[in-house]
Structure 1
Amino acid sequence: MATDVAELQSKKPHIVVLSSPGMGHVIPLFEFAKRLVLLHGCHVTFLNITTEASVAQIQLLHSPNLPLGLSVVDFPPVDLSGMVTDHTLALTRLSVNVQQSLLSLKSMLLQLHRPQAVVIDLFCTQAFEICKELSIPTFMFFTASTHLLAFSLLLPQLDRDVTGEFVDLAAPIQVPGCSPVRTQDLLDQVRDRKSDDYKWYLYHLSRVPMADGVFLNTWEDLEQLPVRAIREHSFYKKMLTAPVCSIGPVIKETEPVTGRGTECLAWLEEQPANSVVFVALGSGGTLSAEQLTELAWGLELSRQRFIWVVRTPNDANACAAFFDVGGEMNDPKSYLPERFIERTGGRGLVVPSWAPQVAVLQHRSTAAFLSHCGWNSVLESLAHGVPIIAWPLYSEQRMNATTLAEEVGVAVKVAGEKAERRVVGREEIERAVRLMVEGREGMEMRQRAMKLQESAMKALGYSGSSHESLARVAEQWKATLKN
């Protein structure tokens, strides 16, 4: 039997997929790997950076239910002591981790008998030289929005042309072929040009043109202007000579539901259709103690049904749980307002740390998603026809929130205009929640979200644009195997 499997896999192109740590990158690249195996006739090895991997990452990648043809190989752990500390900024810490882990990439690729291609994410660009030395084509999977990619590809020019900080510019930054980016919406990594995070981000972005192809986790109807600009605008055509393929939404389609997840779904079953607000701020997001209290009061005052995934507050860092996803243990009664859980019992469900997000968003009772607007959560929400109450916390989430609210028309923003962690008051939260569940605006946003759900399903169908884009690349990989 083992011989038969090996012989079968030898007739398929062997693709290696490599993600930087962090669930926001691991999840879409792992789903991409599964799609290559299940829909496009590839054999895939997923390389797992184990150093500082979260509990959630380990559980996901070492699930016993991987499809036949997908295997996970762990990088040996590396010692980061002396290179990073608890105070090192997240992207710098992640980039140093990747840099040290990839020191063993060449030997791993040789052990895998030189695959037909390697697919990396944005923060693994040190792989380009290694793969070039081994004559292995290397593709980039961009895990965030195409609008962010368009802005980021402009960054090297901005770095040359602009003196001072980008956040101090008097006017929005003009992005070729796309909507301008307001300075208050700039991603965290470019807000301080003296920081190591900025230097790492600029380093990785300047290397995107080295890719033999770029995969976009989006679909045409969601980001029409940015997708067209990346493909057709002269600025990007000079820079990106390789094919650019929109293949999204690449999201979790299912996830195992046990324990607290079963409780969530059982509770949802008892609620009316389109009546529940799902509150979850991503795999790494945290709120200050004061903000957590205001959110609790806002939900209570709204008198709307809710599921709230809560996490221990952190007054210093909006992404405090980034490197500990799935490992945090907490007792909500120790930090939520006194008797909040008892007062909201029946119409509210408080869940510590984690809930089965895809299953909740798929459910008929879910009316809206109060989200940090990380790109994976945005795609999951819209792919299931659920509008968004936008509460951006860090990275590029403010850009996403503005696009969803002002251009796509499927979100209402509550976290204000400023990038600082100002406290959003309970009255503002109450207003947004009521508007989304009871108001006419919320109903109109839900209708637009449902139209996007239909177009996403069409794009992923066998004759759809996203499916066909990936199929064409897979056929090219198969052709190289025959040669």
Structure 2
Amino acid sequence: MGTESTQAPAESAVHVVLLASPGAGHILPVAELARRVVARGAGVTATLVTYTNFSSADHSSTLASLPPSVSTAVLPEVPLDDLPAEARIETRIFTVVKRALPQLRDLLLSLLEPPGPGVAAFIPDLLCPWAFEVSMELSVPGYLFCTTNLMALSCILHVPELDRTTTCEFRDLPEPVRLPGCVPLRGVELLDPIQDRSDPAYRLMVELGKNQLLADGFIVNTFDAMEHETLVAFKELSDKGLYPPAYAVGPFVRSSSGGEADKHSCLRWLDEQPDGSVLYVCFGSGGTLSNEQTAELAAGLEASGRRFLWVVRFPSDKDRSASFFGRSRGEANSPINYLPEGFVERTTATGLTVPEWAPQVEILNHRAVGGFLSHCGWNSTLEAVAAGVPTLAWPLYAEQRMNAVMLSERAGLALRPRADSCGEDEVVPREEVAAVVRELMAGKKGAAAREKARELRETAAKAWAQDGPSRRAFDAVAGKWKQAERAG
């Protein structure tokens, strides 16, 4: 079969297989979904399948923390030598997914054939819908797990139609794109990998949108209060048979890291700061700034006079997602060395810079943190929502510009630098950084966003209560798996 697996699942009434694409933004929420699947009732087990390509030590620790009723399987590495060095991360991921389909088929067959536990449902994540080819061949019900929001999923599903009805680059569209129940989006705010029709990633994104329609349903990491209008509009389309049904089962938020996180020096530094006074600055596991933007951000933070905690990563002038698969640097080197000369010394009284990683959930929930300068990745967004912290939106890649629009224009949770900042080649100047940081932390707009964040924190906490909307949605889709198992 060519796969490595651990903790072979015991014979059970219901067994579910989940498939996670590479990257922390996908592994973490899929692992959380697996936990919730097996926690639903006795006799429910799961297998979480990942890829050898682009795996990391962080992924291994996430998988190791899963309960015993979740087994794991790793699909063997597939060659990527023929891809050009400049291939986008989406192209790399989609190529891995497509080339590993034979090994995935072998794995599912081994679970379906006696004495295997059977497969009541197959759940690939957002970037793996090509895998439905295998589950459909084997007559296994398939559900797509959307690790981001329903607006982004709606956009991906609409990409084939946009491709068919337009010829220009999307940034040149004369009118905004209006998706049902969603905030209008300018062409430049659409998904990052469709912004260049000549790039191979563009054609793969068209395929992605078509293949996602093969799902029996969409399990979405969002919740009603966050996207109520979008959910209502999507249900109308589903009821008409245009889309499979969507189940809003979020928010999935990491629990406290414990251990290493509890000992992190930045938490001790936060303990010494006044309530709500610190701006947390982090661009997620993959977000990367250019050298020039790093210098302007540093100068702006310094000029703002506000307290900050900045997780600094190595800059890149070529790729805003350069950290997505990790970086191999000598231990003697540190991203702090790429900050402007004297910056760390000059800001000792107000700021703290941390290289590479910090315990984000603990930081966002600390009493001293009053704002989050974020790339608007969906995991980070939900973690900020769960903590009741407003955002300064600084999108970089993937669907992050769309998230920034939603957070600022509909949810009221975020402030943004001027409208054309954070663009493809735009550099946000230090003066703009300083102004928007001051506004978020001490201005009227920041106070309004903070109040909205507190309100949404309350509704997020209730989503998974005993009769909460997310729990009801999860029970509805999980009930279908049991029916499928009995029918089988």
Instruction: Give the TM-score normalised by the residue count of structure 2.
Output: 0.92
Q: Which residue of 1 aligns with 2:476?
A: 472
Which of residues 428, 431, 435 in structure 1 aligns to 2:435? 431
Where 1:206 maps in the other structure, the secondary structure is helix
Q: Distance in 2 between matches of 1:477 and 1:327?
A: 45
Partner of 2:31: 30
Give the 3-state SS of the residue equivalent to 1:214 in structure 2: strand
Cα deviation, residue 134, structure 1: 1.4
User: C-alpha displacement at 1:478, in angstroms?
Assistant: 2.8
Question: Is 2:336–2:355's contact at 8 Å kept on the other side of the alignment?
Answer: no
- Residue in 1 aligned with 2:224? 220
52-61 vs 252-261, greater mean Cα deviation: 252-261
The question of whether the paired residues in 2 share the 8 Å contact of 1:412 and 1:432 is answered with yes
Q: What corresponds to 1:335 in structure 2?
A: 338
Q: What displacement does 1:370 show? A: 0.3
Instruction: After superposition, give the CA deviation of every residue in 1:330-385 in whole Å (9 maximum; x if it has no partner).
Output: 42442111121122124211111111111111111110110001111111111110
1:383-437 per-residue CA deviation (whole Å, 9 max, x = no partner) reads: 1101000111112211111111111111111264253231111111111111111
1:393 aligns with 2:393: no
Cα distance 1:299–1:168, how it changes in 2: closer, same or farther (>3 A)? same
Q: How many residues align?
A: 473
Shift of 1:98: 1.4
Match of 1:196 among 184, 195, 200: 200
Contact 2:261 2:359 (8 Å CA) reproduced? no
Contact persistence 2:289–2:316 (CA under 8 A): yes
Q: Of 244, 249, 252, which aligns to 1:250? A: 252
Contact 1:56 1:325 in 2 (8 A): no
Which deviates more from structure 2 when the two are superposed, residues 381-390 or residues 125-134? 125-134
Query: Is the 2:261–2:358 contact (alpha carbons within 8 Å) kept by the matching residues of 1?
Result: no
Cα deviation 1:252-300 (Å, max 9, x = unaligned):
1232441796212121122111111110001111111111111111111
Show CA shifts across 1:27-61 (max 9, x none): 11111111112245531111010112234223322
Contact kept in structure 1, 2:24 and 2:285, CA below 8 Å: yes
Mapped partners of 1:182, 1:404: distance in 2? 15
Kept in 2: contact 1:283–1:325 (CA 8 A): no
Equivalents in 2 of 1:45, 1:261: separation in Å? 33
Q: Which amino acid aligns with 2:47?
A: T
Instruction: Give, as a single letter, the amino acid of the residue that structure 1 aligns with 2:72.
Output: V
2:75 paired with 1:72: no
Instruction: Give the one of 331, 348, 351 matched to 2:354.
Output: 351
How far apart are the structure 2 equivalents of 1:291 and 1:74? 38
CA distance in 1, matches of 2:304, 2:327: 30
Ranges in structure 1 where 5+ consecutive residues have no aligned partner: none
* Farther-moved stretch of structure 1 (86-95 vs 415-424): 415-424
Q: CA deviation at 1:188?
A: 1.4
CA 1:197/1:328 → structure 2, altered by over 3 Å: closer, same or farther?
farther
Name the CA distance, whole Å, in 1 between partners of 2:127 and 2:448: 38
Match of 1:273 among 264, 272, 275: 275
- What does residue 302 of structure 1 align with? 304
| 2:365 is equivalent to residue 366 of structure 1 | no
Report the Cα distance in structure 2 between the residues aligned to 1:368 and 1:163, rounded to whole angstroms. Answer: 41
- The answer as to 2:124 corresponding to 1:120 is yes
Partner-residue secondary structure (3-state), 2:100: helix
User: Are the aligned partners of 2:18 and 2:48 in contact in 1 as well (CA < 8 Å)?
Assistant: yes
Query: CA, structure 1 residues 58+341, in 2 after alignment: closer, same or farther (shift >3 Å)?
Result: same
State the one-letter code of the partner of 2:284. G
Matches for 1:302-321 after TM superposition, within 5 Å: 302-321=304-323
**Contact 2:141-2:484 within 8 A present in 1 as well:** no
Q: Which residue of 1 aligns with 2:133?
A: 129
Matches of 1:259 and 1:227, distance apart in 2: 36
More helix as a share of residues: 1
Query: Residues 224-256 of structure 1, C-alpha deviation per residue, up to 9 Å, x if partnerless?
Result: 12111111147x83321x332000112212324
In 2, are the aligned partners of 1:138 and 1:213 still within 8 Å (CA)? yes
Q: Distance in 2 between matches of 1:115 and 1:349?
A: 49
Task: Give the C-alpha shift of residue 480 in structure 1.
Answer: 3.8
Q: 2:285 corresponds to which residue?
A: 283
Cα–Cα, structure 1 residues 261 and 283, in superposed 2: closer, same or farther, change >3 Å? farther
Match runs of 1:433-472 below 5 Å: 433-472=437-476
CA distance in 1, matches of 2:356, 2:419: 25
| C-alpha separation in 1, matches of 2:34 and 2:47 | 8
One-letter amino acid of the structure 2 residue matched with residue 359 of structure 1: E
Asked if the contact 1:209–1:239 (Cα under 8 Å) also holds between the matched residues in 2, the reply is no
SS of match in other structure, 1:324: coil
Deviations 1:291-332 (A, max 9, x none): 111111111111211110001111111111112169885424
Q: How big is the shift at 1:223?
A: 0.9
Residue equivalent to 1:292: 294
Distance 2:341 2:262 in 1: 23
- C-alpha separation in 2, matches of 1:78 and 1:440: 53
1:267–1:40 CA distance, 2 compared to 1 (3 A): farther
Distance (whole Å) between structure 2 residues aligned to residue 411 and residue 25 of structure 1? 24
> Using a 3 Å threshold, how does the CA distance of structure 1 residues 6 and 410 change in structure 2: closer, same or farther?
closer
- In structure 1, the residue corresponding to 2:230 is in which secondary structure? helix
Paired residue for 1:185? 189
CA contact (8 A) 1:260 1:351 kept: no
Amino acid at match of 2:21: S
Q: Name whichever of 368-377 and 151-160 sits farther off.
A: 151-160
Q: Is the 8 A contact 1:151 1:175 kept in 2?
A: yes
TM-score (norm 1): 0.93
Distance 1:85 1:130, change over 3 A: same
Counterpart CA distance in 1 for 2:140 and 2:256 is: 32
- Output the amino acid matched with 2:69: G
Instruction: Letter of the 1:26 partner, please give it.
Output: I
Give the conservation status (yes or no) of the 8 Å contact 1:276–1:366.
yes
**SS in structure 1 of the partner of residue 71 of structure 2:** strand
**In structure 1, how many angstroms separate the alpha carbons of the residues matched to 2:189 and 2:8?**
50
Cα separation, 2, equivalents of 1:256 and 1:422 = 38
